[in-house]
Amino acid sequence: MAAANDEKMSFIKKVTVSGTLFKKSSVVMSSLAKQGSGGALQIQSNISDLETNGSTEIIQSDQSFRQPIQPDLSVSETFHHHHHHRIRPGLVVDVSAREIPNAHEETEKLAFADFTIGRTLGTGSFGRVHMVKLESTGKYYAMKVLKKSQIVKMRQIEHTINEKNILEKLNHRSLVFLLGTMQIYRFQNSVAKFYAAEVVLAFEYLHSYDIIYRDLKPENLLIDSQGHIKITDFGFAKHVPYVTYTLCGTPDYLAPEIIQSKGYGKAVDWWSLGVLIYEMLAGHPPFYDEDHFKLYEKILACKPRFASHFDPNAKDLIRRFVTPDLSKRYGNLRAGIADIKNHKWFLEIDWKVMENCAIPAPYLPPCKGEGDTSNFDQYPEDHEPYGVAGPNLYEDKFPGF
């Protein structure tokens, strides 16, 4: 999913055969206004359920692909070499009269999780404006939330994009200044439950062979033509009968025992499933921070915050996965997988039917046939020719290939 020039990917992906699980964002956020100084933030974001009507997302904001931590690097090397960027689900505008020379750099540090949403300040044809507080500074802004499906329906795409592009160029005391934009997406509870259940079955199978996956994240979940997930990218998977110590994975999904360089086993996969469930329901991971050191501090502190829309049973299961205490983490207890399958959040799941892929999927990607690649991004075919005659270098390094 890396883009042609950098390792970039569009956070808004069409889900398809072998396409990413997350068909992101049906809302766009656009504008935060700082109270008392004229600051404003725009956020165009659709906080809605999984779209199944095939509608096209409006703004496809590219973001740097989440970089996994490579194994066998020291912690300091890892932090230095791997820059981890998360999805920003909105657009922030500052209407302050002060000069903001690094305003666009500032947007790179904003995420929806950084804000506490307050009361509605006003409404319009396409959305509403909320009072919000940026938790890192304690400052207040106005956040404009726009529903993308409504923008498309009313043919206001061009106007919305023009507004963003113009505001990005402005810096005058009598005009709002755009601090940033973001897009938000989260799954309906039943949709998140369906995909989580399929991951449970996949991990149950892998763990029966003493294989730990170690790199669960949305980018590694594909959807087949029938709407069922396929876990891909086994570069970090490892046969671990007992414990291993390798530092690897994707920062947002690392379990505390990996960060602390403790011996770990299958339990790290269940931690990552808790993080995935949280992200599917919230639109962002529980411990998000652009700074890796702060991110890891949050993971070790393990104090996730849950919005009011979280299903109580989902919240309970997440807490039982996302706990640093291995003696309490589900999947790692005496009952093993049974604790997970019997949890109240999965109460209506018939696991035998689920295992046979007999439960209808919540989303079917558009697919014209086996060779259809329309759901993938286009890349320049500038690779070296394959299979050309020449010396077989490093053949001894890859036995069995």
Using CB atoms within 10 Å of the CB of residue 309, give its burial: 0 to 12 exposed, 13 to 18 middle, 19+ buried: exposed
Strands 62-64 and 139-147: unpaired
Q: Are 279 and 87 in contact (CB under 8 A)?
A: no
Integer-rounded Cα Rg, in Å, for the chain is 22
Polymer length of the chain: 401
- Please give the Cα distance from 281 to 360 (Å, whole number): 20
Edge-to-edge strand ranges of the sheet holding 19-20? 19-20, 221-223, 229-231
DSSP-assigned letter for residue 333: S
Q: Sign of the CA dihedral 268, 270, 276, 279?
A: negative
* DSSP-assigned letter for residue 158: H
Beta strand pairing status for 127-134 and 139-147? antiparallel
Residue in 179, 265, 280, 287 with CA at minimum distance from that of residue 229: 280
Bridge-based pairing of strands 127-134 and 115-123 is antiparallel
Please report, in angstroms and rounded to a whole number, the separation of the first and last CA atoms in the chain: 25
In whole angstroms, what is the distance from residue 245 CA to residue 263 CA? 5
Measured from the Cβ of residue 323, the count of other Cβ atoms closer than 10 Å reads 20
Report d(CA 49, CA 46) in Å as an integer. Answer: 9
Flag whether 144 is marked binding. yes
Catalytic option among 94, 114, 215, 269: 215
Convert 175-212 to b/e letters by CB count within 10 Å (16 or more is b).
ebbbbbbbbbbbbebebbbbbbbbbbbbbbebbeeebb
Selection from 301, 285, 238, 294 nearest residue 264 by Cα? 238
User: Do residues 129 and 67 touch, judged by C-beta distance below 8 A?
Assistant: no
Residue 164: phi, psi to the nearest 5?
-60, -50
For residue 215, indicate whether it is catalytic: yes
Going by the annotation, the residues of the binding site are 144
Q: Which residues are designated catalytic?
A: 215
Binding site feature residues for ATP: 144
